[in-house]
Amino acid sequence: MDRADQKKIINMAFVERQHQPPIELNKETVQTPIKDIIWHRVTLTGEFLNDKNIILDNQIREKKAGFIIYTPFKILNSNRIILINRGWYPLVNSRKDIPDIAPIKEIQTIEGEVSQAPSSGISLGKIETEKLNESSFRLQKMDYDILNSLISKDLVSYEVKLKKPIFDKSYILDSGIPVPDSDKNYGYAFQWFAMALTILIIFIRLGAQKK
C-alpha cells in the first residue's frame, strides 16, 4: 500500500510539472539540482557533439529489445554538456545492426523533458566501452565516471528526453509517466489481505474444534 501511494505521489508530481511553463536551461539554470527540475519541460540552445554518440544496449520496450540513442549537447555560451535522449531504436536482426545516427549540425534550439538517466545498477565486472565507429560508442550500462572520461568532465548528471524528433523519425520517443501505475500494487495488497483473512479464519476454526 505504501509503494502504491509513493507511485501515485510521483506520477501526480510528474503531471503537475508537465503543465508548468518550460524552463530555459542555460549556463546558470543548468546547475539547478535535479530534484527541483526533474520532469519539467525545458528548452536548450546550443550544438550537438556528433562525434560522441552513445548507444545504450539492452533496452526493452513492449517486450522488444533495442537501444536508446544519446548525443551530447553543449549549451550555448557554456562548457556544460547534457546527454540528449533521442529515442529508442529496435534491434532488427543482431547486435551488429546498429542504427545510422544522423548528425545534427549548426546551433539548435530543442525542447525536452528533464529525466534521471537509467540507473547503472549492480555490475559484476568492469563496464566495457565498445567503440563502434568514429562517432558512436556502445555501453551496457550508464556509468557517469565512464561518460565523464569519454565525453567531458562538464557533463551534467541528468538527461533530457526529446519531445519532438530531430531528423530521427525512426526513433521512438518515451512520453510515459515515470513509474508504472499503482493498480498492480493494490492488487498485490488485496491478495495479501485475503490470504491473511483466510489464515485467520482457519486458525479460529481449528481453535474452536480443539475446544
Spatial CA neighbour of 136 closest among 122, 156, 120, 150:
150
The answer to whether 117 and 83 have CB atoms below 8 angstroms apart is yes
Low-confidence ranges of the chain (pLDDT < 70): 119-127, 170, 175-190, 210-211
34-85: per-residue pLDDT in tens? 889 998 999 999 999 999 999 998 888 888 888 899 999 999 999 999 999 9
Whole-number Å distance between alpha carbons of 33 and 159 = 13
Q: Determine the Cα–Cα distance for residues 198 and 91; give it in Å rounded to an integer.
A: 47
C-alpha count within 13 angstroms, C-beta hemisphere, residue 206: 6
Element (H, E) at 184: helix 183-210
Concatenated DSSP letters of 112-157: EEEEPPPP----SSPPPEEE-SSSEEEESS--HHHHHHHT-TTEEE
Q: Which residues pair with 127 in a beta bridge?
A: none
Say what the pLDDT of residue 17 is. Answer: 77
Residue found by looking up cell 552513445 in the block:
54
**What is the reported pLDDT for 195?**
85
pTM attached to this predicted model: 0.77
Burial of 128 from C-beta contacts in 10 A (0-12 / 13-18 / 19+): exposed
